[in-house]
Amino acid sequence: MAKVSLEKDKIKFLLVEGVHQKALESLRAAGYTNIEFHKGALDDEQLKESIRDAHFIGLRSRTHLTEDVINAAEKLVAIGCFCIGTNQVDLDAAAKRGIPVFNAPFSNTRSVAELVIGELLLLLRGVPEANAKAHRGVWNKLAAGSFEARGKKLGIIGYGHIG
């Protein structure tokens, strides 16, 4: 029977920008050992050198995969953007080479929704204005003009994945 795949130790993963440790652990648990890990982004020359023999790259948003970098990646078969977008990758250059690009569009949905709810309450209660006044030494003890969430319907309407 013909062999159609490389041995796991021959497949190189390049992970940059401190991709979460769980990705590294998952790859190792699956038997992959040829993993190059960098806590930060690489400059173009370092990136071209490291990606030259990589089969997969996992990155976040600071590393830019230009056409020049993608063309230097002789063995690249997939690009994983461990973030919500793919604008750091030259998608046309990847498509020309037949390299799929994937991302994690819902990776921060819960965090963003929680922050939006927090901001909603801050604005409802006038916290930014009250904070600025307090820093100027003005302490307003009056309830006039203040609002509470009780009895009100608050929500986010139609904004991306959180609306």
User: Domain ranges in the chain?
Assistant: 9-103, 109-162
| Region 122-145 average pLDDT | 88
The amino acid sitting at 4 is V
Span 59-73, pLDDT tens digits? 999 999 999 999 999
Q: Which CATH class is domain 9-103?
A: alpha beta
Span 9-57, pLDDT tens digits? 999 999 999 888 898 999 999 999 999 999 999 999 999 999 999 999 9
Q: 90 to each of 9, 34, 54, 71, 96, how far by Cα in Å?
A: 29, 26, 17, 11, 10
111 pLDDT higher than 90: no
129 pLDDT higher than 80: yes
Q: How much is the pTM?
A: 0.75
Whole-number mean pLDDT of the chain?
90
| Region 117-125 average pLDDT | 91
Residue 84 backbone zone (phi > 0: left; psi -120 to 50: alpha; other: beta): alpha
